[in-house]
Amino acid sequence: MSANVVPLAKFRLGRILSTPNALAHISNEDILNAIQRHQGGDWGDVNAEDSTANDRALIDGSRVLSVYHAADGVKFWIITEGDRSATTVLLPEDY
């Protein structure tokens, strides 16, 4: 996908939150790019089971989890709650 193409939103994000730890270790640019990917249905580096669960979540309204890596290699997650009230950016150790 071209860097200039923003994928269409597949679900609502609700309030966007981040843990202080994630903000300290991930650039705003990496966070914003990942949020666009997440909302567009690009789940990043999840396994096949989580990818299938995310696709199902778009229909049944359950939680959506994506896994990304910042430009410097830091692994982070984005989780959107099942009721779509909030989306949180966090490092795995923040969970």
pLDDT in tens, 56-90: 999 999 999 999 999 999 999 999 999 999 999 99
- Domain assignment present for 7: no
Average of pLDDT values for 26-45? 97
The pLDDT value recorded for residue 55 is 97
- Domain assignment present for 57: yes
- Domain assignment present for 76: yes
Name the phi and psi angles at 33, rounded to 5. Answer: -60, -45
Pick from 60, 7, 17: nearest CA to 38? 7
**Average pLDDT value for the chain:** 94
The pLDDT value recorded for residue 7 is 72
Dihedral sign from CA coordinates of 54, 1, 14, 72: positive
- Domain assignment present for 52: yes
- Domain assignment present for 26: yes
- Domain assignment present for 24: yes
Query: How many of the other CB atoms lie within 10 Å of CB of 61?
Result: 13
The model carries a pTM of 0.92
- Domain with 29 in it: 15-94
Report the number of distinct structural domains present in the chain. 1
Tabulate helix, strand, coil % of the chain (nearest 5).
35, 25, 40
- Domain assignment present for 5: no
